[in-house]
Amino acid sequence: MKTVYFDNAATTSIRESVIDKMSETMRLHFGNPSSTHSYGRQSKSLIELCRKRIASHFNVSASEIVFTSGGTEADNLVLKSAVRDLHVKEIITTKIEHHAILHAIEQLKKEYDIKITYLELNSYGDIDVQQLESLLKKENKQLVTLMHINNEIGNILELKKVADLCKANNALFHSDTVQSVGHYKLDLQEIPIDYLAASAHKFHGPKGVGFAFLRKNSGLRATIFGGEQERGLRAGTESIHNIVGMDEALNISYQNLEAERTYIKALKAYFIKELQAIFDDVSFNGQSGDLERGTYTLVNVCLPIAPEKASMLQFQLDLKGIACSRGSACQSGSAKNSHVLTEILEDTHLKRPSIRFSLSIFNTKDEVDYVVDVLKDFVEK
């Protein structure tokens, strides 16, 4: 059976060269980085080399990169410590953030009785920057947390504009950049963001590793306690092979960024054109159908399909070997509607099936043709 993997926003395949680098590391650098003997020193040196290279991609100091188990842990580290240690009293966000943000701040509200303010969104899922500006003119300590690229609908936040606005109003700014790191260049000297989160498995690296960027003198403290790893900010023996894999994957992604972006963007444009050709009333959720205002890596399509056919759509796609998501992968096992689409779609479109197809450099035009051909069976006769 033919198989097509169009769920790269959930996770990506690991590049072969990354696997090779990780295998070599597991064979040769197994020493505990906290040990003082030569095996430990070699492992420690390798980790610090990776930290320095990762930092260079963002034009920051190596000391501002903290290795974590992924984006979720990085988000939680920032949010919890900002409230607990920096005495943030209000968090400003949206209702379409990743659940790593939404569930974390709900818990912080229970524990610390902080105020949570949700920004209004237009029908595309974009924030009103003027509303944000008006909310920032307060005396209480505030933190703004807004994802750079939405993992379901692909909207791109004007990161620098928001960062400048927060800085001008003495508010802290954190961004979940899990969907953008490895796909977009971020110069953090030009963008005065305080904190961000990233995850290796979104840019063809291994699962179980990521990092937080914490601006120098951030004042944040550990949320996982034990040893003094990561300068006391994240206890636990470092996963050396995963860190090396993340470094290698990020290097390759940025070295090939323009060529790969051009290829994937053209594939997305072709996919959109083909979907529009077979469905008269097709629509695209958020900014995912816009090649400039939405990320080049995904399309979230709302299909004009009768309810009796819609209920079987994803099941039939899976039977045909096509991997995609009804919403985000974190929600795909749930009977609930996507919290993102529920927030921005009108009832008529919410009743239709929406599918997220997300692309990578390893996808082809032939795969797009195959998916479109399968979807033709669902066109109303």
Active site residues: 330
Nearest to 34 by CA among 229, 225, 222: 229
Burial environment of residue 360 by CB neighbours within 10 A (0 to 12, 13 to 18, 19 or more): buried
Structure tokens at 163: 């960062």
DSSP assignment of 162-178 = HHHHHHHTT-EEEEE-T
Q: Cα–Cα distance between 371 and 376 in angstroms, integer?
A: 9
Q: Which helix (H) or strand (E) holds 323?
A: strand 322-323
Burial environment of residue 245 by CB neighbours within 10 A (0 to 12, 13 to 18, 19 or more): buried
Task: Give CA 161 to chain center in angstroms.
Answer: 19
* Range 62-65 contact pairs with CB under 8 angstroms and sequence separation of 24 or more: 63/216, 63/231, 64/213, 64/214, 64/215, 64/216, 65/211, 65/212, 65/213
Q: Are 163 and 147 in contact (CB under 8 A)?
A: no
